[in-house]
Structure 1
Amino acid sequence: MIVGANGTGKSSIVCAICLGLAGKPSFIGRVDKVCSYVKRGCAKGSVEIELFRASGNVTITREIDVLKNQSSWLIDKRSATQKAVEEQIAALNIQVGNPCQFLPQDKVGEFAKLSRVELLEATEKSIGPPEMHKFHCELKNFREKEKLLQIACKEKSDYLEKLKQSNERHKQDVERYYECKRHLDLIEMLEAKRPWVEYENVRQQYEEIKQNRDQLKEELKKLKETQGPLTHKIQEYEKQRRQLDNQVKMKIEEAKQAFRMKRDDEDNRLQKISNTRKMIDDLRNEIESIGSCENLQPQIDSLNRDLKQVHEEKSAIDVEINERLKEVENLKKDQETITTRIRCLDNLLKQREEKLRIRYRDTHDAVMWLRKNKNRFKKTVFEPIVLMIHVKDYKNAKYIENHIPSNDLRSFVFESQEDMEYFLKEMRDHLKLRVNAVCIPSITYANRVPTRALNDLKKYGLFSYLRELFDAPQFVMSYLCYQHHVHDVPVGTEKTRAIIEQVIHETKLKQLYTAHEKYVVKTSVYSNDTISSNTHLKTAQFLTFTVNVQERRQLEEQDKEIKERFQTLDTELTTFYEKIKHLEHRDNEFRNQKKDLQDRKTKKNHRNKKLTTYNLEAEEKKTNAKIKEINVQKAMLVSELLSLIKDCTTLNVQKVDLVLELATEGYEKNKLEREYKATTLNLRQLEQQFNDFGETKRRLLEKCKELMKKARHICNLGPDQSIPQEYQTVSMRIHNDRNAFQDLPNTVEEIDSLLAEEKTRASCFTGLNASVVEDYKERAQEIQQLTEELEQKTNELDNYRQTISKVKERWLNPLKHLVEQINEKFGSFFSSMQCAGEVDLHTENEEDYDKYGIRIRVKFRSSTTLHELTSSHQSGGERSVSTMLYLMALQELNRCPFRVVDEINQGMDPVNERRVFEMVVKTACKETTSQYFLVTPKLLQNLTYSEKMTVLFVYNGPYMLEPKKYNLKAFLRRRRRIGVSRMDQ
């Protein structure tokens, strides 16, 4: 038993046991770093623990380096790794992380907060066999895999049933598809046979026509032989006639050609004379219409003066345009400079925003939302104050951040209370963001005057008020002056710190800052004494990134003015360009008028020159002479033509006689030729038809061969395998003979009738698709595959269930027996205190092994019923008693080397504390129980002790003798003297 006053260091022994046995700082429940347990001011610390072992004691040493926060280990004075130490500890069944074995002071309250599941795991690790917790973990893993297999089996079973139902629904469609296919195959066979029947009919007709053609050809040959001499004579006369006709035609054509040429020349000359006269008249009329050239020159001179005036106006406007363009260039340079500066300021602001995002993510998200939704608010809304403040000198940022609380720095500032309520509702209810918001005062405080003039305070080293150290929008500044009195809190230097007592006494300031500290002065309401407190200033986190908000606002105003000036210049330039356009239009008009006058002058001079070049009388004489020559040549040609006409008449008479002789023979010849031509034409048509049917026959034969190959493939027949009888009515194809169609009709009419009937039957099968059959086959294959997979998964699930059943039996039966033992001990302890307590194994579903837990139910008053031990139902003392008795129940069942309980009696009433202490002594001092460390800051009087107890008193304080000055021998001598004196008495 370790006894000592609060703060003497009792728990340091507990910490040393935990850390010395490779425990983590988190097991103790205080600080997280190992170096924090070393005495302040020391660079190193060490813990040495000697553990009893039947085969020989083990000494474990842990040395802690404060600077590196690292540890080095020794086992029996030999260097070792932490893993080796942990193995040694585990071999001795020491679990400093298990609250059922090791319960530090800071974990006492947490023990009562353990859930049923956590308490079961801690109990299994503490007093259960080593394999018990292992079996429990295996059961949880097996149960998770069993759930996954159950889900997989159910999903596959449902999907399999769905596929079977789908195939059952489509089975009738598949049967109808195959029936339709049989009709279509018969239609295909009929369409294949019909051309063969047509081909045979045409072939017979072809043979008949061919015989008739040959007979007519022979008769025609005989007629040509008898008609030959007469035809030869006719041909000679015809030849002579053609020669004379050609000569006459040639002479006539030559005469006509010469006459046409002369007539055309005459017409051309007459037309030329007419055109020349007309041209002369036109030139005279045009010269008269142009008028006098002398009258045009004054108009040209006037236009020259107008053009000169237009050019002068254009030059003046060009000067104005150039001036405006230069101004535009200068404004662009100014705008670029302003944009660069704004971007620089925005980068600094973004650094502050990034730090806000890292530290306060909700506030940053709210800022982003506000920037997108400012139009929802009726009045001005400011972003968090930390983004709106610009510290003039970053060295003064620490004063602002230490003076204004963090919550206010992160607050959004609203001009309207209604806007603020809407904002908070959106943030907290809809977006689930935790943000702060404030509303500005109804009257402005931004320009409030401080209570004392700064000149009066400068002699104390106070150089400024907080308000003058930073810039902010007026509304934000008004709120800060109203809420935090930044206008009335001065800032000083080291000089102020040196005379701080004088400053507080003389200035009566309530708050002030020195170089590194903040002072708050209050007056006691009881004694009127002045009480001052000072705190060291924290380093600034946000406002060191200084952003001159005022400068940025001015730059934005300048940028706005430049843009407005751009618009003004653009309007002026547009006006100037319109004027230029108007002047260019006038210039073009004047130039066109001038050109027109000059063209009229030039044109008149040209027409006068051209008019003098024409001589009409000479041209007329030349034309008359040419006409006389042409008339003489015409008369000579007419005489020659009459002579040729007489010769032609004589020959025509002879021709008529011969034609009459030929007429009789020609009639017979023509008759035979007509018959021969008709027969030849008919023969050609039949030959073409015959050839067409031959080509059709070839194509059909090729198609039949392909269909035969396809049919053999579908029926799984080889190339040389004979076709079974059952396929010959539907799937038979032509192969080297026509007997394949023997079961089908042999006339076109019968084929057409059967074909129409089959097409009608096939058309009744609507809504069918080959994809239905393919889907049906795929689903059937998938059903088979899923059935196999489901069977495999079901077998695997059955195997898992058998495994779970075996492991469950090996885990649950010992666990129930263990819990019954704990319950017996726990109930016995409570009965001895005239209370009631139970411990049972609780679960809602026997198969959910991860939800098994130990439930502790207690009753401290006879008027109540048993209630589960929780941190909310029982008092602190009752929880401490229940925890202690549960640990004692474990004590008698566990074979762990030792237990540690630190200040478990905190909050117990004296009666329960005495009872618990007596039970602890009675239980811990048995021969069969393990070592027990009980740490307590207090002792009741007249407690029961045992000879097997060792009591350690821990003393500490400013007047204690230092350990290095202890004289153990003197202590022992004094102890012996006290013992001897008691024996004498």
Structure 2
Amino acid sequence: MPSVVSSQQSRQGSQDSDNSKPEAPHTLTPNISLGRSSKLTIASKRPLAEEDRNGVSKAPITTESGSKRRKLTPDPDTNDNVSDDNEERSNRDTSGEDGARSEDEDEDAPHDKEVVIPVAEEYDSDDSEIGMADSLDKMRKTVEEIPHARGAIVRVYMENFVTYNKVTFEPGPSLNMVVGPNGTGKSTLVCAICLGLGFGPEHLGRAKDIAEFVKNGNDTAIIEIELKGSPTDEVNPTIRRMITRDGSTRYWIDGKEQPHRAVKQLMKLLNIQIDNLCQFLPQDRVVEFANLGPVPLLRETQRAAAPREVLEDHDELKRLHALEIGLEIGLEHDRQSINTMEARQKNLERDVARLRERQTLQEHIKLLVNSLPFVEFHDVKKHRADVKQQYSTCLAQLEQIRKEQEPQTKQIEQTEDQLKGIKAWLEDEKRDLMTFEHELRQEREIVNGLKKDEANAESDLDNLINSEKERKANIEKSKEQIARHERALADDPGKLDLSELNDKINKINGEIRASRGELSAGRASLEPLQAKRDERQSEIEQINKWISRMKNIAGQRVEALRKVSPESFTVFTWLQENKHKFKGRVYGPPIVECTVKDPGYQAEIESLFGPGDKFAFTCTSKGDFDTLMDSVYGDNRNGKGLGLSEVTIKYIEKELGEFPRIASKDELSSWGFDGLAIDFISGPSEVLSMLCNSIGLHRVGISKSKLSTSQHESAKTGKRMTKWVAGGVSTSIRRRPDYPAAETEISSYIGQPQFFKTVEADRRLIDEKIQQQNQLKAEIDEIAREISTQKASFGGLEERGSSLRAEKEALNKQKEDMQKSVNRYQKIRTILGNELQKLEDLERSGKGFKNKVAKQEAHALQINMDRVIAAVKLAERVREYVAQYGAMAATELHAIELSSNLQHYNSWNQSFKDRLEGKKKECEELKNLEKEIASRSAELRDRCRSLIATFSDEEKEKISENHSKKTVDELKAEIQQEEVRLEGIHEGNPHAIRQYEAREKEIKELRDLMDAKMADLDKHQTNIKRVRNRWEPRIDQLVGNISEAFSRSFEFIGCAGAVRIKKEGKDGCDFENWAIEILVKFREAETMQVLTAQRQSGGERAVSTVFYLMALQSLARAPFRVVDEINQGMDPRNERLIHKRMVKIACKKHTSQYFLITPKLLVDLDYHERMKVHCINSGDWVADDHVQDFKKYIEAARQQAAGA
């Protein structure tokens, strides 16, 4: 029967009450049943203690039991261990010391004092009567004689930790089963093991802040863990950790304060791996272990069950394989680079050959050019001697020409002298003739002037006769006018008297004024009625406009604009009346100008708009923008603006096409979107451009359906879309420009559309407006009747006024006619007087007409006589001029003859001059040429001397051949020919040779580098093979052993399971992705399938997880293992079988320490003498008596069983 050792714990009660005493005494009701299969069930209850009522908690009982199992019929699954167990029991001393406390201990002992509770040994009904105390001693000694493995937990002490005040646990060396109801503090022990050994809370899956593990109301918490040391250690190492409320931590090892790294080094030395889920599996990380991927599972398995060098070999293989891949990639890149460079070299070979041929030609041309000065110097020297000879000959020829020219020169001089005298006489004669010609022109002008005077005299005579005829005709006309006017004056109207007529008119004016006053008073009484009628008519027109607006969507939106943003409505109305002030169109707010194409998307589209976007006015030019700004925001006191402030005006320069879509429709569909926001809204392109610029319509995704998780992540990480609306939720992603990786996701539900919704006009409101309109029309009719009634009262006044005005008009016309008659008589008298004066003037002007005619005729005759005399004189002077001109013409002919002779003489002499000048020029040119040749010769001589100093012997020899065999022209022709050849060879890439040689060097260096990499690759591959040959068999054996134990466990419950290693990559060389695959089969008809979180149920995964951990138990190299509530989700049958299997494996010899935490315990479970059960009791009904005699419970259980 298992022995139970109790460690007292003190917990703070959560229930406070008054100070009254309990009504019933403390009771303890044990319920213990014993059976053939060594089963133990303990239940304890107690009423609320007095101390609990006062706020002081009594310590709940924690019992620890080690179990030694004896069966009448051995279990077939444990046959292989029966002999070992018997042998072990036969060699074991059964007379161990009694560790139980005396039952006489003081009950008032402090609650935090450790209490050991003795429990009687289990025995079968067929056993002989054995003393209860002896059985307990034997059982305790059996458990205590099993040694702890190095690194196993010997003791755990907690103070002010989570729910514990003080508690001490003393785990056994094999299986430790910690049981108790939920919330009693089982997992707190797990937390204490993790934190007490220097690991962080992240390995617990619970609170991340270490300060949260300090019990409420305390400043510090203490965890002290004693570990089993090596045989050579004098004392076991003890780690103590103090946690403060502010989150700081201090460590002590064996009483000496140490840094955290010292604790970590000790854990590494003892191979304690709390961060390995295969060794340490707390309650909150069970699911994490079940979901642990195959690749990390292999690593955790190696850490838990293989020597450290196996995992190190695996890490080394991964590192070497990564290096191998890097080298192979580098080699492949180098091969490609060499192939590329060799292809380029091949392409350059023709350029290189052509450049080398070009260089040869250039060198040959250079040699020819260098030879040119020497050949030219030889030719120049020879040419200089020839020029000197030519110059001497030229001088002799020049002298001969001068001698031949002398006789001809004298003849020319004589002729020139004779011609000079004649020309002087002709000049004098020409001047005399010019004077003569001037005099003749003057005399001719006198004759012409007299002729003109004669014509004028005759014209004046004709005019005098014609004017007389006209005077007589005017006299007759004037007499006729006088007679007509005298007849008109015969009817004299007499003196004009208008007094009587004026009196009548004045009287009528008085009557009209009186009638008008009465009529004005009557009309004034009508003005209020007319104003009221006009007001009602205006109201009817406003109602008509409102009804028209409400019967269309745009009108509804304008009405909504008026209600929500009165200032924007004011600007919208003002724009309709002032369009002429703008060059382009100014668009109203989007809620008026735009519509949503599909009503189903109205809520999504409207959710994108901010207040400034809904009511924004859009200008398409900067001038219109400024005009609207001044008109809207200007001060209305001076009449320059509306004086508004809450109006948004925007100016857009970009066209809609300048806002590109972020994705095609197919891409958006693959991301889960129905389209972009711009696809669902229509309106003027300028307004849509403004919205794209303002709220990014072209970048916002829209979907009626909710995105899947993968679609949501794709949209979030795609970077192109920062906002979308899907499934009624608006999501925005904000990223900081300076930290693009830092992003904030904001989501909110969208509301119902307010402005874009399509609704029918409210019929009730329209009916009310129509009723109001009918009432106004009735009022107008009533006003019209009243106006008619009042008009009837003063209708006679209007008729009287019309009659008086007609009478006045007739009198005024009569007056006007009388005035016109008198005025016409006076006007005719004036005209008659003027006409009589005109007749008198005409008759007086006709006197002396005959004398004037005679005088004019005599004047004309005198002019005619003067003209004849002047003409005769002019004819005589012309004859004198002709004689003088003839003499001059004869002399000119002689001068022409002499000039012709002189020209002949000069022409003949010019040939001599030309010959002379030509010869002079020739001599001068030969002289200058000789000087130039001498200078050129000296220059070439100096150049040749300087060039010779730079030539090699070979060049000197070749130049000497050119000097002796070729002329300058031949040499230049050859140079030109070679240059033509050079031009025929295109230069192409001028750097081809340099590139070719540099690339050759680069290829060689790259090949050397590849050889080095190949050597490194061979070295790495050799190392991989060496390490793999050492590692792979060990990992295969390890996984094989795990698979064998795993399979046996599954066979134990009638199922099948296996563990295999999955070797990835070509030839299994992708060591990074080697993995462990767990294969299970829970039903007969199924095949073995890989264990996944999707394929198997939660209970099946739990069973598989437990069996895998159990398979590791016999192989584990860790000193202890912790599993918290792994049996959750299992059905009772599997839980019972798994418990039995776990007890068998965990209690074998030479296995590591094992902690199994569970909140439930089925009845009729199997136990083992190596296991130790820790029962944690906590609650209001725990007995105050912390020292309990379990023998009484066992006896009571036997009696109960016997009675049954």
1:370-418 Cα deviation digits (max 9, x unpaired)? 14652499xxx9xxxxx99xxxxxxxxxxxxxxxxxxxxx99789xxxx
2:1172 is the alignment partner of 1:950? yes
Distance 1:46 1:636 in 2: 162
Match of 2:646 in 1: 341
Shift in Å at residue 133 of structure 1? Answer: 3.4
2:287 is the alignment partner of 1:72? no
Distance 1:87 1:828 in 2: 32
Match of 2:952 in 1: 723
With over 3 angstroms needed to count, the CA separation of the structure-2 counterparts of 1:980 and 1:164, relative to structure 1, is same
Residue 72 of structure 1 aligns to which amino acid in structure 2? Answer: T
Distance 1:276 1:99 in 2: 149
Shift in Å at residue 910 of structure 1? Answer: 4.7
Shift in Å at residue 43 of structure 1? Answer: 7.6
* Aligned partner (choices 841, 851, 856) of residue 1061 of structure 2: 841
With over 3 angstroms needed to count, the CA separation of the structure-2 counterparts of 1:473 and 1:220, relative to structure 1, is closer
Distance 1:742 1:671 in 2: 46
> What is the TM-score normalised by the length of structure 1?
0.53
Structure with greater proportional helix content: 1
1:912-955 Cα deviation digits (max 9, x unpaired)? 44443344334433553332110123333333323433212233
Residue 11 of structure 1 aligns to which amino acid in structure 2? Answer: S
Residue 852 of structure 1 aligns to which amino acid in structure 2? Answer: W
Match of 1:896 in 2: 1118
> What secondary structure, in the 3-state scheme, does the structure 2 residue paired with 1:341 have?
coil
Shift in Å at residue 860 of structure 1? Answer: 5.4
Shift in Å at residue 786 of structure 1? Answer: 3.3
Q: Is the 8 A contact 1:2 1:936 kept in 2?
A: yes
Distance 1:795 1:267 in 2: 128
Percent of aligned pairs with the same residue? 24
Residue 27 of structure 1 aligns to which amino acid in structure 2? Answer: H
Residue 12 of structure 1 aligns to which amino acid in structure 2? Answer: T
2:681 is the alignment partner of 1:374? yes
Distance 1:325 1:840 in 2: 83
* Aligned partner (choices 234, 239, 244) of residue 59 of structure 1: 239
* Aligned partner (choices 221, 228, 235) of residue 399 of structure 2: 221
Distance 1:199 1:267 in 2: 86
Q: Is the 8 A contact 1:213 1:679 kept in 2?
A: no
Distance 2:888 2:725 in 1: 129
Larger radius of gyration: 2
Q: Is the 8 A contact 1:836 1:858 kept in 2?
A: yes
With over 3 angstroms needed to count, the CA separation of the structure-2 counterparts of 1:261 and 1:956, relative to structure 1, is farther
2:341 is the alignment partner of 1:167? no
Shift in Å at residue 891 of structure 1? Answer: 2.6
2:447 is the alignment partner of 1:142? no
Out of 898-907 and 13-22, give the one that drifted further: 13-22
Distance 1:268 1:923 in 2: 163
Shift in Å at residue 899 of structure 1? Answer: 0.9
With over 3 angstroms needed to count, the CA separation of the structure-2 counterparts of 1:810 and 1:196, relative to structure 1, is closer
Match of 1:795 in 2: 1012
Match of 1:318 in 2: none
Q: Is the 8 A contact 2:375 2:962 kept in 1?
A: no
Q: Is the 8 A contact 1:142 1:800 kept in 2?
A: no
Matches within 5 A, 1:853-872: 853-859=1075-1081, 866-872=1088-1094
Which structure has more relative contact order (CA 8 Å, sep 6+)? It is: 2
Out of 930-939 and 241-250, give the one that drifted further: 241-250
Match of 1:11 in 2: 187
* Aligned partner (choices 1063, 1068, 1072) of residue 850 of structure 1: 1072
2:341 is the alignment partner of 1:124? no
2:1149 is the alignment partner of 1:972? no
Distance 1:266 1:78 in 2: 158
Residue 52 of structure 1 aligns to which amino acid in structure 2? Answer: L
Residue 1159 of structure 2 aligns to which amino acid in structure 1? Answer: P
5+ residue gaps in structure 1? Answer: 282-322, 347-361, 382-386, 389-409, 415-423, 440-468, 479-616, 618-626, 709-718
> What is the TM-score normalised by the length of structure 2?
0.45
5+ residue gaps in structure 2? Answer: 1-176, 230-234, 460-576, 583-626, 635-641, 652-667, 689-693, 696-700, 706-711, 730-750, 761-859, 861-870
With over 3 angstroms needed to count, the CA separation of the structure-2 counterparts of 1:793 and 1:126, relative to structure 1, is farther
> What secondary structure, in the 3-state scheme, does the structure 1 residue paired with 2:1161 have?
coil
Residue 324 of structure 2 aligns to which amino acid in structure 1? Answer: E
> What secondary structure, in the 3-state scheme, does the structure 2 residue paired with 1:770 have?
coil
Distance 1:434 1:892 in 2: 56
With over 3 angstroms needed to count, the CA separation of the structure-2 counterparts of 1:125 and 1:345, relative to structure 1, is farther
Q: Is the 8 A contact 1:827 1:836 kept in 2?
A: no
Matches within 5 A, 1:451-530: 472-473=754-755, 475=757
Q: Is the 8 A contact 1:156 1:786 kept in 2?
A: no
Q: Is the 8 A contact 1:117 1:853 kept in 2?
A: yes
Distance 1:270 1:137 in 2: 143
1:579-617 Cα deviation digits (max 9, x unpaired)? xxxxxxxxxxxxxxxxxxxxxxxxxxxxxxxxxxxxxx9
Match of 2:803 in 1: none
Residue 827 of structure 1 aligns to which amino acid in structure 2? Answer: E
Residue 168 of structure 1 aligns to which amino acid in structure 2? Answer: K
Shift in Å at residue 850 of structure 1? Answer: 0.6
Residue 904 of structure 1 aligns to which amino acid in structure 2? Answer: I
Shift in Å at residue 887 of structure 1? Answer: 2.2
1:611-651 Cα deviation digits (max 9, x unpaired)? xxxxxx9xxxxxxxxx9xx9999999999999999999999
Shift in Å at residue 861 of structure 1? Answer: 6.2
Shift in Å at residue 103 of structure 1? Answer: 1.0
Q: Is the 8 A contact 1:858 1:866 kept in 2?
A: yes
Distance 2:350 2:1042 in 1: 74
Matches within 5 A, 1:44-55: 46=221, 48-54=223-229, 55=235
- What number of residue pairs does the alignment pair up? 680
Distance 2:1069 2:942 in 1: 73
2:824 is the alignment partner of 1:824? no
Residue 972 of structure 1 aligns to which amino acid in structure 2? Answer: V
Shift in Å at residue 240 of structure 1? Answer: 6.3
Out of 944-953 and 630-639, give the one that drifted further: 630-639
Q: Is the 8 A contact 1:100 1:887 kept in 2?
A: yes
1:661-712 Cα deviation digits (max 9, x unpaired)? x98xx99977765544444455667778889999999999999999x8xxxx
Shift in Å at residue 755 of structure 1? Answer: 7.7
Out of 637-646 and 882-891, give the one that drifted further: 637-646
* Aligned partner (choices 876, 886, 890) of residue 1108 of structure 2: 886
Residue 1161 of structure 2 aligns to which amino acid in structure 1? Answer: L
2:205 is the alignment partner of 1:29? yes
* Aligned partner (choices 1137, 1148, 1160) of residue 938 of structure 1: 1160
Residue 472 of structure 1 aligns to which amino acid in structure 2? Answer: Q
Residue 824 of structure 1 aligns to which amino acid in structure 2? Answer: N
With over 3 angstroms needed to count, the CA separation of the structure-2 counterparts of 1:6 and 1:35, relative to structure 1, is same
With over 3 angstroms needed to count, the CA separation of the structure-2 counterparts of 1:776 and 1:704, relative to structure 1, is farther
Shift in Å at residue 900 of structure 1? Answer: 0.5
Distance 2:323 2:375 in 1: 74
Distance 2:1121 2:679 in 1: 62
Residue 843 of structure 1 aligns to which amino acid in structure 2? Answer: K
With over 3 angstroms needed to count, the CA separation of the structure-2 counterparts of 1:872 and 1:724, relative to structure 1, is farther
> What secondary structure, in the 3-state scheme, does the structure 1 residue paired with 2:1187 have?
helix
Matches within 5 A, 1:582-981: 673-680=913-920, 723=952, 725=954, 739-740=961-962, 746=967, 769-772=986-989, 774-799=991-1016, 801-803=1018-1020, 805-806=1022-1023, 809-810=1026-1027, 813-814=1030-1031, 816-824=1033-1041, 826-828=1043-1045, 830-831=1047-1048, 833-834=1051-1052, 837-845=1057-1065, 846-859=1068-1081, 866-910=1088-1132, 912-926=1134-1148, 928-957=1150-1179, 959-961=1180-1182, 970-972=1185-1187, 974=1189
> What secondary structure, in the 3-state scheme, does the structure 2 residue paired with 1:951 have?
strand
Q: Is the 8 A contact 2:317 2:1024 kept in 1?
A: yes
Distance 2:881 2:889 in 1: 13
Distance 2:362 2:907 in 1: 61
> What secondary structure, in the 3-state scheme, does the structure 2 residue paired with 1:917 have?
helix
Residue 226 of structure 2 aligns to which amino acid in structure 1? Answer: L
